[in-house]
Amino acid sequence: MKKIFNFALYDFANSAFTTIIITFIFATYFAKEIAPNPVLGQAYWGWTIGITGFLIAINLFTFLVNSALSSNFFFIAAISFALFSNEPKEPTNFLSSFSKATF
């Protein structure tokens, strides 16, 4: 049991480290040093991360549909959505509610 707990701590720390490096350090390095200019570098980086996320989502969906986990996963996702989603008390659009909460 101790080995599993130690690996869980290692995996948690390693995931945070990788996330910080990819999100902040490498993205800034790519935008400032590799790309022709910082604005174009940020655009390239954003498109790269977006396309990568889309490809991962397609692969995950394909895996879930072709596995035995698919029915359980979709059932749990539907129940979670039903339990944890709520309607707003007054009709607002997303941007107005975001600006009220932020400023």
- Tell me what pLDDT residue 40 has: 92
pLDDT at 24 over 60: yes
- Tell me what pLDDT residue 71 has: 64
**The one-letter amino acid at 20:** I
Give the residue-averaged pLDDT of 31-51.
Answer: 90
Model confidence pTM above 0.95: no
pLDDT at 25 over 70: yes
The residue behind tokens 């991962």 is 56
Give the residue-averaged pLDDT of 89-100.
Answer: 53
Question: Looking at per-residue confidence, does 33 or 82 come out higher?
Answer: 33
Question: Looking at per-residue confidence, does 103 or 64 come out higher?
Answer: 64
- Tell me what pLDDT residue 96 has: 54
For residue 17, how far is the Cα from the chain centroid?
Answer: 15
Is 20:13 a contact under the CB 8 Å cutoff? no
CA 73 – CA 65 distance, rounded (Å)? 10
